[in-house]
Structure 1
Amino acid sequence: MSYPFELDGETLWDAGYHSGQLYASLARGAAEFLELPSGLTPNAQGGCDVDLEPFRVFVERLYELYTSTRNEVLHGLAHGLLATSLVLLERAGGAVALTPPYAAVLLEEKTSLAHSMAV
């Protein structure tokens, strides 16, 4: 069973059921923490629809949180969600400008994750 993330009927990520549910839950919690919508809406097919602009803003704000904290726990908690979100955002046709010193690590992780995230 899968948990697809779709934009205008195109599958961006055909996540495994548990991976998709966990990602959507983490994104929902982070969006609540950031006080903005995640851009992810559960759909009748058992996955999520991606609304590009709110999702781009969500990922941008998550990146700002990630790059602005010196708190190792907060940084670690945001890292996996951010890397996965960057892959999904890129597949949706969006992007967030990554800056040093974080760009290299996130680009490497994004590339690695993208290979594991079935379309």
Structure 2
Amino acid sequence: MSYTFDIGDDTLWGPANSVARIFLGMVRTLSEEYQVPSGVGDDLMGMVEIDPVEFAAFVQRVLTERANSLHMYKDMMLDGVLPILIAMADRGRLGIVGGTPEERAYLEGVRVRKLPMLAPSQ
């Protein structure tokens, strides 16, 4: 079994159930912490719809927080979820860009890794 994270008819990611639940919890927490909507919809029996405008703004905000962070443990925690957020946004062609040299360097480091964002059928 797996979840799907979709924008319309396009699946951005299809992780296993436990991975999806952990991811959703992290997204909820970051959304609350940074007081910005995540664009990640409710879990509807393993299907999660993404609002592309809100999601892009959320990813940009998390990227900015990570690029400006001076806290080792915060960095480690954001490094666990931010690459997934960026890969999902890239797969959805949401245009995430770095506004500072630190943000651009982080994006480049994530993108060079080419995280596989497998859909459930793959």
Q: Same-fold call, TM > 0.5? A: yes
- 2:9 is matched with 9
Q: Percent identity?
A: 22
By percentage of residues, which structure has more strand? 1
- 2:94 is matched with 94
Code of the aligned partner of 1:107? E
- CA distance in 1 between counterparts of 2:84 and 2:51 reads 16
Shifted more, 105-114 versus 61-70: the winner is 105-114
Q: How many residues align?
A: 118
Q: Which has the higher contact order (CA 8 A, sep 6+)?
A: 2
Shift in Å, 1:45: 3.8
Code of the aligned partner of 1:18? S
TM-score, normalised to structure 1's length?
Answer: 0.87
- 2:44 is matched with 44
RMSD value, Cα: 1.8
TM-score, normalised to structure 2's length?
Answer: 0.85
Asked if 2 retains the 8 angstrom alpha-carbon contact of 1:69 and 1:75, the reply is yes
Q: Which runs of 5+ in 1 are unaligned?
A: none
- CA distance in 2 between counterparts of 1:113 and 1:18 reads 22
Shift in Å, 1:95: 2.4
Asked if 1 retains the 8 angstrom alpha-carbon contact of 2:4 and 2:14, the reply is yes
Change in CA separation of 1:109 and 1:13 when aligned onto 2, cut-off 3 Å: same
Matched position secondary structure for 2:4: strand
